[in-house]
Amino acid sequence: MLNQLRDIVEHVSRVEDVYQALEVFVNETQKAVHTECCTVYLANDSFQRLELMATKGLTYDGETIHIPYSEGLVGLVKRSAEPINIAKAQSHSAFKYFPQLGEEVYEAFLGTPIIYRKQVLGVVVLQQRDSRQFSETEEAFLVTLAAQLAVIIAHAREQGHWLIDDKGLNSLNGIAASPGVAIGPIWREEVSMRLHDVLPASTINVERELEWMAVTIENALIDFRRMRKKLDGDINKDALAIFDLYTHLLNDPMLRGDLKKQIQKGDSADWALRQIIEAYSNRFLKMSDAYLRERAQDIRELGERLLFFLHNSQRPQFDIDKPVIVVVRELTATLLAAIPKKYLLAVVSQEGATNSHAAILSRALGVPAVMGVGISDTVAADTTAIIDGYSGEVFIDPPKAIIDEYDALYDEEKELSSLVDQDIALPSQTIDGRAITLLLNAGLSADSSIAINAGVTGVGLYRTEISFILKQRFPSEEEQVNLYGNVLEAYSGQSVVMRTLDVGGDKSLPYLPIQEENPFLGWRGIRFTLDHPDIFLIQIRAMLVASIQRNNLSILLPMISNIQELDDSLELIEQAFTEVKEHYPNVRRPRIGVMIEVPSMLFLVPQLAQSVDFVSVGTNDLTQYLLAVDRNNTKVANVYESVHPSVLRALKLLLDSCQQHKLPISICGELAGDPVGAILLVGMGYQSLSMNSANVGRIKYVLRHVEHSKLERLNEQVMSMNHSSEIHQHCKQFLEQQGLAGFVRAGKS
Ligand code: PEP
Ligand code: MG
């Protein structure tokens, strides 16, 4: 049975055309179960009906056949989302006779829903003349097959091959990652580059070309591992095998050696790549074994992938010359940093989730973003699209009525922004006079000249990673002194909290790639820098030197998970301080803080209070680790609940504990910059919030229009709630009642 199952799935997934794949599915399943009829229906939610897509055994010649969700046994399977197995279908109360199907001849009925991530995509039905109950094994077989078919159908849909024509409105749903709406032409990342387009070119800088090639190979290996992992639970073993093959080839010292030799002859990296790949693939083409001959094509494909990485890791270049909606496979902070801001209307990413760093950066830039959108590769550049960063909807080539609706929404947005801007420099306090410190999160943008934000009284989190990520090597001490000096100078007289390097997780250095099964649980943040005291010391010294005479530096340590890491970090900071003091006797000791983002720290506040000056809560990671949900993974994005009752309780526990030990605390995770998050935190008792530039005005406006006492009451109410959806809804209603609905807009639909 297992073999039959595997065979069917393999045959089906090998067929490129989805209609044909369904044909193969019904034919082979009917044969495997020794029954007389097998049919697949797919759901059309817009018309609330099931549409017959393929059948072996019913009268069907390709014309459209629909069954309303509310009718018949097939409709019942869809509604109940459970298999129905009956011997005498025609005597069942839900049976409905559809004359066009010619199914009056069949008695036995086994229908199973095709479910993908809780959604019933359709129904698969087995039928037979004899009045008999299908066996339990047959039922289990069909359920297993339906689960596999669901993946194939969902995949086809993600590729834009959705078989159902629903209301002619081409809309896709993703994860709302950055609020706002945008209308404009699509610009697509160049995904495929052809080897035969590479022309002969030489280089005079062999070292640089060799370095590019090395970085390219590492980036490609990381990507293959990631792709392989992504496909791991998938059924298409061919796709898995190909990534294994690529990895194997790339690790082959001979291929690497040949590439190196070719560049050393003076050829540019891409020209060397073309020649070597063609030589290898020709060698395979000449082999007598048919299997090996076929590998020639794999080698060419590997070459083209490398070419893509070569061009993208060299210097991301974007030929964008007008405002566009940027569509990419995976949005990275580096990519976003390389796109000219003035032309960036919105971003759509096929992968990612709300709190991936790229999403955070989109919010910081004030650019609407939707992540995890199954946008087809066939949607052409320049097609008009609408992006709804509130609801996560993306409309491709929308009709005029939808464009008009969004035009109106866009105007409302602009009005709200100008309202918010008017209040930007006013004191940050609630109506009843409770002062809340608002600070800036900065550093994710590649732009080193930090913009002054009139709404804040300092920088609560300066992320230092980007200057490391955008280089081909670690930045020198002097480069870092200059960079940090600019930031400290821009906010002179105000406190600036600089975080030490937090790479790992979803931020990797191109020149020091880290390959791990679980990068977010791995060599990340302080774990990495403590293992590289040289890098840590350079960074701390650079911060200290930059702070001389400015005296507004605080240093923040990321990803601390135990007191030993803190002690080791403090020792290194002391060492750096002593070294700097030798040359600059007037250097002052900075304030030192710890990020609370690993749950273990929730219980160690008394110990922290003895050694550090403050703590800052990284709710992005704290939520990820508390809920065991990858902040980057589209598949589990719905489980990442930023106002999960446990997250709120953890935050309350932490605040109480810090107050008890007189340890200053602020929040620098994305929750602080979210209107719902901000009112909850302030209601809980937090008095210092750090957020990205685009959110400062909005949060200040919200806080200036609510009473603290009401927020305290709101907080009490939500603390008794069990579901984050309920908490969220309650807070939204509260904001609406305060006349602040525009800050929690639900989108058009
Ligand atoms: C956090 O984890 O909340 C945080 C502020 O750090 P980052 O988002 O850079 O991981
Ligand atoms: Mg973090």
User: Which residue has a Cα nearest atom 6 of ligand 1?
Assistant: 618
Distance between CA atoms of 248 and 254, rounded to whole angstroms? 11
Nearest atom (ligand 1) to Cα of 619: 3
Find the 620 Cα to ligand 2 centroid distance in Å: 6
CA distances from 75 to 41, 69, 79, 141 (A): 10, 4, 6, 21
Q: Give the pLDDT confidence score for residue 231 in this predicted structure.
A: 56
* pLDDT at residue number 101: 75
Q: With a threshold of 0.85, does the pTM exceed it?
A: no
Tell me which of 441, 463, 500, 557 to substitute to probe ligand 1's pocket, judged by most ligand atoms within 8 Å of the beta carbon.
Answer: 463
What pLDDT, in 10s, does the model give residues 216-248?
888 888 877 776 665 565 445 555 677 778 888
- Closest ligand 1 atom to residue 668 Cα is 5
Beta strands in 425-485 (DSSP E): 437-442, 458-462
What pLDDT, on the 0 to 100 scale, is given for residue 315? Answer: 46
Q: Specify whether 668 is catalytic.
A: yes
Q: Which amino acid is at 523?
A: W
How many angstroms is it from 161 CA to the middle of ligand 1? 37
Among 667, 514, 540, 524, residue whose Cα is nearest residue 592:
540
Residue nearest atom 3 in ligand 1 by C-alpha distance:
618
- For 482, the token pair is 């200059």
Q: Which of 332, 502, 667 to mutate to test the pocket of ligand 1 (most atoms within 8 A of CB)?
A: 502
Q: What is the Cα–Cα distance from 351 to 329, expressed in whole angstroms?
A: 6
Ligand 1 pocket test, pick from 466, 595, 689, 695 with the greatest ligand atom count within 8 Å of Cβ, gives 595
- CB-count exposure of residue 265 (10 Å: 0-12, 13-18, 19+): exposed
With a cut of 70, which residues of the chain have pLDDT below it?
Answer: 16, 61-63, 158-169, 190-193, 227-240, 312-318, 332-334, 337-338, 377, 445-449, 746-749
The ligand 1 atom nearest the CA atom of 618 = 3
Whole-angstrom distance, CA of residue 45 vs CA of residue 119: 11
CA of 481 to the centre of ligand 2 (A): 24
- CA–centroid distance, residue 327 to ligand 1 (Å): 25
Residue of 357, 644, 708, 728 marked catalytic: 357
Neighbours of 137 (CB within 10 A): 10
Q: SS3 of 151, please?
A: helix
Q: Would you state the structure tokens that stand for residue 16, as one six-digit string?
A: 């490129």
Rg (CA), the chain: 29
| Rounded alpha-carbon distances, angstroms, from residue 99 to 35, 58, 76, 104, 707 | 21, 11, 19, 8, 66
Report how far residue 118's alpha carbon sits from residue 374's, in angstroms, rounded to the nearest whole number: 17
- Residue 194's pLDDT is 75
Task: List the structure tokens of 441.
Answer: 């999160």
Residue 283: what pLDDT?
Answer: 86
Report d(CA 28, CA 7) in Å as an integer: 9
Q: Among 363, 441, 631, 668, which residue has the most ligand 1 atoms within 8 Å of its CB, making it the best to mutate? A: 668
Nearest CA to ligand 1 atom 4: 618
Here the contacts of 160-163 (C-beta below 8 Å, separation 24 or greater) are 160/374, 160/375, 160/376, 160/377, 160/378, 160/379, 161/18, 161/376, 163/18, 163/19, 163/42, 163/53
Q: What is the pLDDT of residue 748?
A: 41
Q: Atom 8 in ligand 1: which residue has the minimum CA distance?
A: 620
Known catalytic residue: 357? yes
Cβ atoms of residues 557 and 564 within 8 Å: no
In ligand 1, the atom with minimum distance to the C-alpha of 357 is 8
Q: What is the pLDDT of residue 644?
A: 98
Residue 324 burial class via C-beta count within 10 angstroms: exposed 0-12, middle 13-18, buried 19 and up: buried
The pLDDT of residue 105 is 82
Please count the other Cβ atoms lying within 10 Å of the Cβ belonging to residue 379.
18
What is the Å distance from ligand 2's center to 520 Cα? 10
Catalytic residue among 38, 668, 708, 731: 668
Expressed in angstroms and rounded, the spacing between residue 699 Cα and the centre of ligand 1 is 19
Gap from CA of 677 to ligand 1 centroid (Å): 15
- Yes or no: say if 315 and 208 are a contact pair by the CB < 8 Å rule: no
- 3-state helix vs strand vs coil in the chain, percent to 5: 50, 15, 35
- Ligand 1, CB cutoff 6 Å, lining residues: 360, 461, 463, 502, 597, 618-621, 668-669
Is the C-alpha dihedral spanning 421, 426, 427, 430 positive or negative? Answer: negative
Residue 675 near residue 702, CB atoms below 8 Å: yes
What is the Cα–Cα distance from 534 to 665, expressed in whole angstroms? 30
The count of C-alpha atoms lying within 13 angstroms of the C-alpha of 665, restricted to the half-sphere facing its C-beta, is 30
CB-based burial, 516-536: b 16+ in 10 Å, e otherwise: eeebbeeebbbebbbeebebb
The number of the ligand nearest the C-alpha atom of 619 reads 1
DSSP character at residue 372: S
pLDDT tens track for 148-190 = 888 888 877 766 555 555 445 577 888 888 988 999 999 987 6
**Atom 10 (ligand 1): residue with closest C-alpha?**
621
DSSP H helices, 498-604, are 526-531, 533-547, 563-583
